[in-house]
């Protein structure tokens, strides 16, 4: 496989090899691909977890276990005001 790299990418690869951390451009690219693969695995795992949380939320709503949105925002606003008051009083920083 042949690929074309931008000048910036070529320079970066050369810098990594010249730093002594990697013995070749192939090693730098291999490490980059390994990191990308790890990142994609994490993203995929988070996506699966998010889909499961959404599914569970929908099931709760279907059972009538939901919380009214206005109620949630009112509670959040009350919490924020409480925290702001405590910060002004020096209770929390």
Condensed to tens digits (0 to 9), the pLDDT of residues 44-53 reads 999 999 999 9
Q: Where are the alpha helices (DSSP H) in the chain?
A: 7-19, 25-62, 69-88
Residue 93 scores a pLDDT above 80: no
Residue pair 16/28 in contact by the 8 Å Cβ criterion: yes
Which pTM value belongs to this model? 0.60
Condensed to tens digits (0 to 9), the pLDDT of residues 74-83 reads 999 999 999 9
* End-to-end CA separation in angstroms for the chain: 56
């Amino acid at each position: 496989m042949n690929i074309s790299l931008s000048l910036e990418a070529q320079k970066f690869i050369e810098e990594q090899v010249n730093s002594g951390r990697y013995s070749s451009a192939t090693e730098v690219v291999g490490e980059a691909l390994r990191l990308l693969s790890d990142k994609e695995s994490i993203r995929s795992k988070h996506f699966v977890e998010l889909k499961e949380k959404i599914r569970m939320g929908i099931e709760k709503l279907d059972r009538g276990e939901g919380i009214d949105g206005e109620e949630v925002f009112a509670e959040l606003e009350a919490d924020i005001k409480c925290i702001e008051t405590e910060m002004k009083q020096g209770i929390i920083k």
